[in-house]
Structure 1
């Protein structure tokens, strides 16, 4: 029970600090002091330390020797590295999931595409981010490979809704283009074309040409 409590506290600290970074409350280069986090959240040092280490592993923080951690950005090189792994793994998950998908699954994914379109029309960028994550997670959960699911979860956790929160029309245009790709992914699931599905997700949806739009 003690171990479960520690894990729960670590997750609470992780979620809160990640949310603050994504909202821009903790800015690039800002130092995150372990004791200050303990005081603000009323949590002991062990789960705070564990959460900070996990945030560093996930790319949100950068360790500073003998000085703790500071907020880092998700630059183009970081995004490129994630895309280079996400494309092949996400495509493989879709291929493995294909035999396990039924009509209800496809209907749910179609509904998510329509919901994303509404979010784009309303300028609800954070909502769009959540919906597109749910779209991918729908088939990832059905791929039947737990290690692959874990690896994809870790990679996708490094992407952030902050990359969509830009004050320019190009951001909405990028979201519309991405949602057209979601629709094509759905069409390939409906057609049962596993090879085309895997190739499209790997080479088009996670194209390295889109890396710059994932930075934050």
Structure 2
């Protein structure tokens, strides 16, 4: 069945993409009129999308100023990392028994694609491929409410990871992250669910990583 997006959802996705690609940065004001004109929609779906993004923690609704891209504090980022790690680890362990050999091959394909994206400095492709890697197991997770909460939390870091001035340092860090994907795939294949959950929570989403993210 084809899923049709509402006008609000189209606006929502548009704004998220702008945040992700760095066109909208922390502390900058969201221009409602510009978005309305660019997408050729009324102000109503724009306002609805902004309210949703505000409720999800990506925007602040500042009196007399409007909606502003939220800048996370280190403490807020650490707390969110901890929550994401717990949710992602649990989702992976719930999904693991439902994964097929094709799912494993798909995750391996995305790992190779991520490697290529990093080495060619195609960081937008990196974002899409790593998202696709995680979506393989999240798509079969039987607890959909858990997945929804996880994805909502992850959105708070869309703008954080891809804007290092030192590209070599960024590449180095992303390659380490992709090595973690390899370890996760190994644990999925071996059916080590307890270790998989622990690894995702304590390593992949290690709260100490927040110290090196340019929030």
Question: How many angstroms does 1:90 deviate by?
Answer: 0.6
Give the TM-score, by structure 1 length. 0.88
Structure-2 residue corresponding to 1:19? 17
Counterpart CA distance in 2 for 1:122 and 1:75 is 31
Question: How many angstroms does 1:22 deviate by?
Answer: 2.9
Matching residue within 136, 139, 146 for 1:148: 146
- Cα distance per residue 1:74-122 (max 9 Å; x no partner): 4433322221111111111111111101111111111111111111111
Q: Please, which runs of 5 or more residues in structure 1 have no aligned partner?
A: none
Counterpart CA distance in 1 for 2:86 and 2:102 is 26
Matching residue within 97, 102, 114 for 1:104: 102
Structure-2 residue corresponding to 1:205? 204
Return closer, same or farther for 1:81/1:163 CA change in 2, 3 Å cut-off: same
Q: Please, which runs of 5 or more residues in structure 2 have no aligned partner?
A: none
Return closer, same or farther for 1:157/1:122 CA change in 2, 3 Å cut-off: same
Structure-2 residue corresponding to 1:67? 65
Matching residue within 74, 77, 82 for 2:75: 77
Matching residue within 133, 141, 152 for 2:131: 133
Whether the 8 Å CA contact 1:79–1:215 is kept in 2: the answer is no
Question: How many angstroms does 1:162 deviate by?
Answer: 5.0
Structure-2 residue corresponding to 1:86? 84
Whether the 8 Å CA contact 2:115–2:178 is kept in 1: the answer is yes
Counterpart CA distance in 1 for 2:9 and 2:25 is 21
SS at match of 1:54: helix
Question: How many angstroms does 1:38 deviate by?
Answer: 3.0
SS at match of 1:31: coil
Structure-1 residue corresponding to 2:192? 193
Give the TM-score, by structure 2 length. 0.88
- Cα distance per residue 1:39-62 (max 9 Å; x no partner): 443322221111111222233321
Question: How many angstroms does 1:8 deviate by?
Answer: 1.3
- Cα distance per residue 1:117-154 (max 9 Å; x no partner): 11111111121111111111111111211111111121
Counterpart CA distance in 2 for 1:67 and 1:19 is 22
Whether the 8 Å CA contact 2:19–2:158 is kept in 1: the answer is no
Whether the 8 Å CA contact 2:33–2:43 is kept in 1: the answer is yes
Query: What root-mean-square deviation, in Å, do the aligned CA atoms of Structure 1 and Structure 2 show?
Result: 2.1
Return closer, same or farther for 1:122/1:88 CA change in 2, 3 Å cut-off: same
